[in-house]
Structure 1
Amino acid sequence: MYFIERDTHGRILRVESDAFPGATEQSHETTTEIAEWLKVHHMRTSTIQELQQSDLDMVRVLEDLIDVLMSKGVISITDLPPAAQNKLFNRAQARQRLGGLEDLIADDDELLMI
């Protein structure tokens, strides 16, 4: 059973297997329209998750880049806005708290050296 919400033009906005407020119709079968909406919705959800993971990966890249620039004397931590300084400091503290455990956490960097 599918519960469906449509916009004013009749386009599907949402499809769920459980009833929800705003559902305007029900269908016992998977129509072509429902199947297409579910396919697009799944692809969109997967892409969003991929981008979110990529964002997390990029944070690590940027953090490493900042470390390299600071170690070469190109920039100083004080060149960054206070909010950025705090975030970098908090991440450094979190990594330090991990202590010896951080060697157990695999980085993708190792894969690049193969």
Structure 2
Amino acid sequence: MHFIERDSEGRIVRVEPAPFPESTEQSHETTAEIDEWLKVNTLRAATLQQLQQSDLEMVRVLEDLIEVLMSKGVISITDLPPAAQNKLLSRAKARQTLGGLEDLIGEEEDRLI
């Protein structure tokens, strides 16, 4: 059973296996339209997950870049806005707190911060 919500133009915007308040119709069968929506939605979810993972990885790249620039005297931490300073210092303290535990976590990258 599929519970379906459509927009004002009749396009599927949501399909769920259980009832939800915004559902406007039900289908016992998986139609070609439902199947296509499910495929697109699955691809969209996978792409979003990939971008989220990439965002997490980019945070570390940016931290390392900032550390390199600071170590070369190109910038100082005080050149950054206070909110950025606080976030960088907080993350550096958190990693320092982990100390020797980082090896147990399994991170194999070189650490610059």
TM-score range, shorter chain: over 0.9
Root-mean-square deviation (Å): 1.2
Instruction: Please give the alpha-carbon distance, in whole angstroms, between the structure 2 residues aligned to 1:33 and 1:91.
Output: 47
Amino acid at match of 1:82: P
Q: How many residues were matched structurally?
A: 110
Matched residues in 2 for 1:9 and 1:61: separation? 44
Q: CA deviation at 1:108?
A: 6.2
Structure 1 vs Structure 2: percent identity of aligned residues? 74
If asked which structure has higher relative contact order (CA below 8 Å, sep 6+), I would say: 2
2:53 alignment partner AA: Q
Alpha-carbon distance in structure 2 between the residues aligned to 1:60 and 1:91: 10
Name the counterpart of 2:71. 71
Query: C-alpha separation between the residues in 1 aligned to 2:16 and 2:106?
Result: 37
CA separation of 1:108/1:8 partners in 2, compared to 1, >3 Å: closer, same or farther?
A: farther
State the TM-score, normalized to the length of structure 2. 0.92
Which ranges in structure 1 are unaligned for 5 or more consecutive residues?
Answer: none
CA distance in 2, matches of 1:9, 1:19: 21
